[in-house]
Structure 1
Amino acid sequence: MSQPFTLFIFLFLWSFSLSFAQNGEVSGSIHTSDGKPAELVTITIKGTNKGSITDKTGNYTIKDVTPGSYILKVTSVGLEKQEKAIEISPGSSLNVNFVLKENAATLQEVLVSTKNLNKKDTYSARMPLKKLENPQVYSTVSVETMKEQGLTNFDDALRNVPGITRTWESTGRASDGASYFALRGFDSQPIMYNGLPGLTSGNLDPINIEEIQVIKGPSATLFGGSFYSYGGMINTITKKPYYAFGGEVTYQMGSYGLNRVTADINTPLSKTEKIALRINTAYHDENSFQDAGSKKSFFLAPSLVYEVNDRLSFHLMAEILEEERAVPAVFFHSDRTGPLPFKSLEELNLNNNLSFISNDLTIKNPRFNLQGQMLYKLSEQWTSQTAISRGTVKSDGYYTYIWDDGITDNYFDQFAQKEQQTTSVTNIQQNFNGDFKIGALRNRLLVGLNYFNRNTINNGSGSAIVRKVTPQQAEVAYIAPGTTDTIPPVYLSRMFVDNILANTGAANSNVSNSSYSAYVSDVLNITPSLSAMASLRVDHFVSKGEKSDPDDDFNQTALSPKFGLVYQPILDKVSIFANYMNAFINVTPRSIANTDGSDPRIKSFKPEQANQFEYGIKTDLFNERLNTTISVYNIKVSDRVSTDPNNRNDYLQGGKVQSKGFEIELNANPFQGLNLIAGYSYNKTEVIAGDENDFYSEPGRAIGGQGPQNLANLWASYRFTSGKLQHLGLGFGGNYAGKYRVMDSSITGEFDLPSYILLNAGVFYNLAHYRISFNLNNITNKEYYIGYWSVNPQRLRNFSASFSYKF
């Protein structure tokens, strides 16, 4: 995006945001009928553009009000509005309080998803910052948006965020079995909970999600080098207890045998002390849209909060998941060493109805995550956060994939492997946050220490070819080349696969690595409108590698800087920002072997590095009814790790990759009841230095898994707030993905997945104690695909209907 175009956008937004003379002030508090503070309630002065939104204590302030007589109005979608007449005198400070007819539980349900997007966020910068104050870009998806769209899985929620797209569904396999997303052209997985490390090798259940936060750009300075963070981080913010009794029970049914029951129950545990418990739980049973495939899971997430006093509080959260699935085989349509026999989807002619799996071959992914936090207010200027998290995830079952056999024919090899791996992570973190002045300059300072450990125990089998398939048929007779021998069709039963894998041997690996980190970040307000952020992390990585092999130990110390500037030409309405950010990934030592699988061993690597320069503009206009973010970025990565083209059991380090593009995001509430979420992104990711004979690092080529260059998203919902249709809501939107080059090599040739447009709609009826909804996805029954050097068919038209009882 050119600088003149950015300047034009800034001037356009400025012209709609002129402020007027400062005169009087209105402030007060709003509470619910049960005496609880009412957060996120809108207060406006009729006939003006003045207004505010209550904070978590129920307080609000409206400044710069011209003297005169007005009507002060309190509204929130789904609530009965209240009005009071007020008189503003020159220089006066008027106090006006309201009591809503609704209780705290009802109020929480009807909060609007696009409201108050400039509220202070404590996760992306690890300190309380408004979105306009933060030089980093991040996007959020609220629980209310997920309810409007009838979502039953985590992955679909991210269709509301520009610049990110799924490239691979969760396989449940060892080490990296969670879903893969392309974020600004690089890999990302949902492995952060409340800003702390978590673990997933299967699916995430949305019942315990309050908000999903996508933090964009290299983010190792504050979050460390143990996770994918070149393009950003996916942070899941879980539901928290509150001090009132309430809850919701929901039954949801839909296409492909979907049956889902969820419950969200909150209760205070003491009449005299602030102790509250919240339990979220879900049972999920669903089949596949293909000929085989299934999922059954049970999820339980208790959370507890105890506010000892106004200075000290404790927060505990656990997540327990039992999940078993039959996962469709990933269809890799090339062996990556020879020319592609199929140059397009039409030539490949893949049968979308085939899963290439049987429901007898399942994988279990039990998961446990625990987090504990102690928050302590040291003084008026300083707070302390002590956090401990522990996570364990297992992969126990069968993973299969399809690979071109290297012969120019219509046959492919299907491989299978018995997964048996347990990964555990432990994280201990101490943060101190200060907000103080040195002279006339305001400083918001973060000082933190972090310890992280990952341990992986692998006792899985080797992999073996279990049958031949074609893109059109799974159970197919196969004639061996050069012979007349016919191998009959093979059905994948557990007994059959176990007999083949019995001769592949078993791994016996126990790998451990740790990092010890210290970081500091300071936001300095040079003037009320101009601030600068400077951050630095020191990270010492200690890899013990295989515990039985003392020769594979590896230590590495890395520095990760971050800088940002924010200028607000119109305070709290428009900000112009620029940043430099770094990411380093302490690459986990990997199991390698010779080309024939012999001599298995562990190999360590030095950190990979990413550096980003970005600039853009953020706005919060028209009484917080229009929030936009426009950004332009350039990321360069060095020391990238990829598979050795001469030995698929080994890895090499080297080469450089560049990702550049821009993103536009809009969240709007033009008038009461209507909410809009929209975005567009463009990204180009390619190798800029590498090996021209290497499939994975050929200069000038796409890196694989980078996603489509063009992405767009839209969701519009309207809730009738009065009249006979009051409480009825409608939603409509969709997604566009441009052409996606999943294979790009002079060795293999190119293979593109075609562009697609998906349309989705929903209708819901929301009362104080009941909610009924119906959603229809992929309305046009579009055949479309995602991939990561692969071709993965996606769901056709599907629906879901739900009924909720709230109390």
Structure 2
Amino acid sequence: MNKNFTFLLNFIAFFLFLTGNIMAQSKNGSVSGSIKTSDGNPASYVSVGLKNTGKTTQTDEKGNFTIKNITPGTYTIKTSAVGVSAQEKSVTVVAGETVNADFTIAESLSQLDEVAINGYKTPNRKPVNLGKIAIAPMDLPQAVQIIGKQIITDQQVNSLGDVMKNVNGVALGANRGAVGENFFARGYSLGSNNIFKNGARTTIGGSPEASTLESVEVLKGSAALLYGGVTGGAVVNMVTKKPKFENGGEVSMRTGSYDQYKPTVDLYGPISKKIAFRAIGTYENAGSFRDFVKSKRFYINPSLLYKVSEQTEVLVQGDYLKSDFTPDFGVGSVNNQIVDFGRDKFINTPWAYNKTNTTTAQANLTHKFNENWKLNAIGSFQAYNRNYYGSERIQANAAGISTRNLSRALSKEYTYNQQININGSFSTGSIKHTVLFGVDADQSRVTSNAFAYGKDAKGVNITILNYGNVNVFDPTTYYGSGIMPEAFGITSTLAPTYRYGAFVQDLIEITEQFKVLAGLRYTDQKNASSRALNLETGVTTPGATKFDDAFSPKLGLIYQPLKTTSLYISYANNFITNTGTDIFYAALPPSLVDQYEAGIKNDFFGGRLSANLTYYKIKNSNTAQTAMFDQNGNLNSNTNIKQLNGTTSSDGVEIDLTGSILPGLNLTAGYSYNFMRYTNTPDIIGMIEDVRLVGTTKNTANATLFYTFQEGAVKGLKLGASAFYTGKRNGGWNDAKNAPVLRLIPLSAFTTVDFSAGYNWKKFSLLAKVSNITNELNYFVHENYSVNPIAPRQFVTTLSYKF
């Protein structure tokens, strides 16, 4: 009773405070206006404040600002931002009225972009491209994280994996054969369906090039409403650099440990008053801390921006990546355990190769009907080819002896994406609506070949060939014969997939404090009949056609008691298509995923520090995994034969900190916890419950701090440090309750620390980094055969010149 009475008193006090505050505000006035650049574009995220009052705000993406609840009187309003000349105006505020104050700054939009790397814009106020509409994360009932070009440059990132280390709730689960990084978000694997480039799905097979990245946006949790066909973990959007209507560019040279050399050229400028271009090219040649492992990469990224009119623009961009590297499955396992016999030891065949080619093209049309309504249309194409040969599964016995069975792969993927999005705003009475309508489609055609390595005495194809046993403890056995056996194709399988979807979303602003985001999507997916062509007989064997469709709803409630604080709760549902068949070769039904999320987003110190907290719970009704036994009770090795293992639950917490509290000081930090496990599985043959799923990580944390001296004799000197913590996780396999032997491989936690130092002088910059200073040793594990050690202590430096 006492608790109820205390609660009632607190509620009455809060209500009286709120009522008094509202009455006080009605007696005050406000100031609003807009800020534009010298070339007439909106100046987004410029700080605006009343001097000597503590009242500050930032312009939105349209350059507009409003400062409310100002006591009547005369004030000086001041604008400020990094790289922007400060301006001041005198304004007189009258009770119950709004006074207008517009500014035009001397800098152009391009000049602001150039200095943004030294400044800070609160990510809670900056709309993300992943949202398909200009809604700031503060108004989204979902966790969002943006890794901007400041971090990308300061950390000298070389791959998407380097960027993702800064994203809480997303962790590298495995790096199978060093061929493809497998990220997990909130317990769910992020496949190619979850990775986007400029809003269109893309492959990460060749390891995306980082030199073209402007930023990386991560929309955590379910994004099925906007994209369909994605897992419940997150979607990742790589935003590339765009053309500019000013001449400029940058040349740089990066070099580092193990003979790494990487020159990069970035040129941009106008072709005419309406057309601008940009071209980015790079070449990389690098060795590795792993014996005999090397890579060569060539990349080019041209783009054109055509401003058809004030309302319409067309952006055409494409890129080509040739990435050739040594497939490396690490040190393998010994008797299902990880043994340190040297992280540099390379056990694949000496001639192993992996060659990839990725070509993309995209056209993006944006048309503004008026200030409130806009259309965006995207069409994209991607071709990805992979040519691979080597051995894979190093699974040694207790004596260290392992076979090296060969694996040959040749595949081609062609994917197409089309989408049309219309967004706008209107009011129904006092209620404001920000709506988004969209339709999209994806088509893919994947051709993969199976190979043989000769014929036996009966003329039957030899599909399993051991290159020769190896003793992992004896390097003299690694080389083998040195001869690459001839492999020839025996089947070529074409697998088409078609996906279509339509959705509607409405952000309803009931009051300035209470908002609702609601949406519904319908997705239809068709895995068309595959066609397996026997290359020797010419006979084609068709497969079954599978249809999946579902409605994916989303509902979020948002409460913003202050302009700088947003609290939300949300629910979302999506389905995940399960590939493969059950043990009786019947198609598997999709998994249905329910996600619940709650969070709070805060901006402090006038937007110079953002602190966000998120809690989530995700339930999956049907989780598929490779079946342990086939229909005859024998151990199954066919990864296309699967079993539905029942329900999984994924719970977690994420904390994000981002800010620039002092000029030149930039901070990014965070922590995440995740526990994904089976919670309801069949007796005997079901999976063991309450055991962390393979690939998921219990705890991750990161912190990056960079400071650039702003004045004095050391002006331009930059110092920085980054620390990355990866918690306990499991390799191997999750096991069934009737498994004769448990095959989990527990992996310990580890932390790596990097230190950076650099100097900016006029148009030159030099930045150096020592990574993994403590020379930590740990592993990323796929099953029990691709056991890849993390890199030891390394050095990298980049010299750049801007013009």
What range is the shorter-chain TM-score in? 0.7 to 0.9
Q: Write out per-residue CA displacement over residues 37-61 of structure 1, whole angstroms, 9 at most, x where no aligned residue.
A: 6544444444443334455665655
Q: Which of residues 127, 137, 144 in structure 1 aligns to 2:133?
A: 127
Amino acid of the structure 1 residue aligned with 2:652: G
- The residue aligned with 1:486 is none
Letter in 2 for 1:539: T
Cα distance change, pair 464–660 in 1 and its aligned pair in 2 (3 A)? farther
Alignment partner, residue 158 of structure 1: 164
User: Given the alignment, which residue of 772, 780, 783 partners 2:777?
Assistant: 783
Q: Is the 8 A contact 1:141 1:160 kept in 2?
A: yes
Residue number in structure 1 paired with 2:218 = 214
Task: Please state if 1:145 is matched with 2:141.
Answer: no
Quick one: which of 686, 690, 698 aligns to 2:688? Answer: 698
Q: Offset of 1:314 from its aligned partner?
A: 1.1
Runs of 5+ consecutive residues of structure 1 not aligned to the other structure:
1-6, 335-340, 477-488, 595-601
- Cα deviation for residue 549 of structure 1 reads 4.0
User: Please, which runs of 5 or more residues in structure 2 have no aligned partner?
Assistant: 1-9, 452-462, 532-539, 630-635
1:219-252 deviation per Cα after TM superposition (whole angstroms, max 9, x unaligned): 2221111x4x221112111222222122111111
Q: Considering only aligned residues, what root-mean-square deviation do their CA atoms show, in Å?
A: 3.0
Q: Which runs of 4+ in 1 moved over 6 A?
A: none
Equivalent residue, structure 2, for 1:641:
624
Question: CA 1:491–1:692 in 2, change beyond 3 Å: closer, same or farther?
Answer: farther
State the match for 1:537 in structure 2: 521
Counting only pairs closer than 5 Å after superposition, residues 640-679 of structure 1 correspond to structure 2 as: 640-646=623-629, 647-649=636-638, 650-654=640-644, 655-679=646-670
C-alpha contact 1:198 1:390 (8 A) present in aligned 2: no
Post-superposition shift, 1:472?
3.3
In the alignment, the residues of structure 2 paired with residue 727 and residue 66 of structure 1 have an alpha-carbon distance, to the nearest angstrom, of 42
Tell me if 1:555 matches 2:555: no
Amino acid at match of 2:468: R
> One-letter code of the match for 2:308?
V
2:267 aligned residue: 265
Counterpart of 1:198 in structure 2 is 202
Q: Tell me: CA distance 1:551–1:184, structure 2 relative to 1, closer, same or farther (3 Å).
A: closer
Tell me the secondary structure at the aligned position of residue 703 of structure 2. strand
Equivalent residue, structure 2, for 1:447: 437
1:214–1:360 distance in 2 versus 1, CA, 3 Å: same
Using the aligned pairs only, state the percent identity. 25
What amino acid is the match of 1:636?
Answer: K
Amino acid at match of 1:400: S
8 Å Cα contact 1:467/1:490 also seen in 2 = no
1:246 aligns with 2:251: no
Partner of 2:747: 753
Aligned-residue offset at 1:554? 1.7
* Most deviating of 440-449 and 739-748: 739-748
Letter in 1 for 2:728: K
| CA deviation after TM superposition for structure 1 residue 65, in Å | 4.6
- Per-residue deviation, 1:210: 1.0
Q: Which residue pairs with 1:624 in the alignment? A: 607
Three-state SS of the structure 1 residue aligned to 2:222 is coil
CA, structure 1 residues 605+113, in 2 after alignment: closer, same or farther (shift >3 Å)?
farther
Hey, what's the Cα distance between the residues in 2 that align with 1:371 and 1:287? 33
Going from structure 1 to structure 2, the CA distance change for 1:166 and 1:473 (only over 3 Å counts) comes to farther
* SS of equivalent residue, structure 2 residue 417: strand
Letter in 1 for 2:800: S
Cα separation, partners in 2 of 1:453 and 1:262, compared to 1, 3 Å: same
Q: Give 1:391 shift.
A: 0.9
Instruction: Pick which of 353-362 and 230-239 moved more.
Output: 353-362
Answer yes or no: is 1:498 the counterpart of 2:485.
yes
User: In structure 2, do the counterparts of structure 1 residues 802 and 507 end up closer, same or farther at CA, with 3 Å as the change threshold?
Assistant: same
Q: Is the CA contact 2:583–2:643 (under 8 Å) kept in the aligned structure 1? A: no
Q: Which of 713, 719, 729 is equivalent to 1:724?
A: 713
Contact persistence 1:292–1:357 (CA under 8 A): no
Tell me which moved more, 163-172 or 771-780: 163-172
Give deviations 1:111-141, integer Å, cap 9, x for gaps: 4464231234253332221111001111111
Distance in 2 of aligned mates of 1:606 and 1:235: 28
For residue 118 of structure 1, the aligned residue among 109, 121, 124 is: 124
Q: Structure 1: how far apart are the matches of 2:594 and 2:341?
A: 40
The one-letter amino acid of 1:442's match is K
The equivalent of 1:49 in structure 2 is: 54
Q: Aligned partners of 1:751 and 1:30: how far apart in 2?
A: 58
Letter aligned with residue 211 of structure 2: I
Tell me the equivalent position of 1:738: 727
TM-score, with structure 1 as normaliser: 0.86
Shift of 1:86: 3.4
Is the 2:110–2:244 contact (alpha carbons within 8 Å) kept by the matching residues of 1? Answer: no
Equivalence map 1:273-672=2 (5 Å): 273=274, 275-333=275-333, 341=335, 345=338, 348-357=339-348, 360-404=351-395, 407-461=397-451, 464-476=465-477, 490-491=479-480, 493=482, 496-499=483-486, 501=487, 506-547=490-531, 548-570=540-562, 572-588=563-579, 604-646=587-629, 647-649=636-638, 650-654=640-644, 655-672=646-663
Corresponding position: 1:798 with 2:799: no
Alpha-carbon distance in structure 2 between the residues aligned to 1:442 and 1:688: 42
User: 2: distance between equivalents of 1:593 and 1:29?
Assistant: 64
TM-superposed CA distance for 1:267, in Å, is 1.0
State the SS of the aligned residue for 1:221: helix
Partner residue of 2:764?
Answer: 770
Is 1:686–2:677 an aligned residue pair? Answer: yes
* DSSP 3-state at the match of 2:384: strand
Post-superposition offset of 1:104: 3.1
The SS at the match of 1:722 is coil
- C-alpha separation between the residues in 1 aligned to 2:513 and 2:481? 65
Q: Distance in 2 between matches of 1:46 and 1:389?
A: 49
Q: Which amino acid aligns with 2:792?
A: L
CA positional deviation for 1:64: 4.4
Assess if the C-alpha contact under 8 Å between 2:613 and 2:654 holds in 1.
Answer: yes
- What displacement does 1:354 show? 1.0
Q: Does the 8 A contact of 1:375 with 1:385 survive in 2? A: yes
Question: C-alpha separation between the residues in 2 aligned to 1:697 and 1:239?
Answer: 46
* Alignment CA distance shift 1:352-1:93 (3 Å): same
Deviations along 1:169-212, whole A, 9 cap, x unmatched?
A: 3647xxxx531012111211463112221123121111111111
- Cα deviation, 1:496-536, whole Å, max 9, x if unaligned, reads 2324x45xx63311111111211111222222211112222
- TM-superposed CA distance for 1:82, in Å, is 3.3
Cα distance in structure 2, aligned partners of 1:116 and 1:238: 20
Q: TM-score under structure 2 normalisation?
A: 0.86
Give, as a single letter, the amino acid of the residue that structure 1 aligns with 2:709.
Answer: F
**1-structure distance, mates of 2:34, 2:423:** 28
Whether contact under 8 Å (2:91, 2:99) holds in the other structure is no
Query: 1:325 deviation in Å?
Result: 0.4
Deviation readout 1:412-432 (Å, 9 max, x if unpaired): 233331220001111111222
TM-aligned CA deviation for residue 659 of structure 1: 0.9
Match of 1:323, as an amino acid?
A: S
DSSP-derived class of the 1:160 partner: coil
Task: Report the number of matched residues.
Answer: 746
Distance 1:692 1:109, change over 3 A: farther
Q: Give 1:579 deviation, angstroms.
A: 1.1
Deviation at residue 26 of structure 1 after TM alignment: 5.9
1:471–1:249 Cα change, 3 Å: same
Map Cα deviations across residues 125-173 of structure 1 (whole Å, 9 max, x no partner).
322211110011111111111111111222111111111111223647x
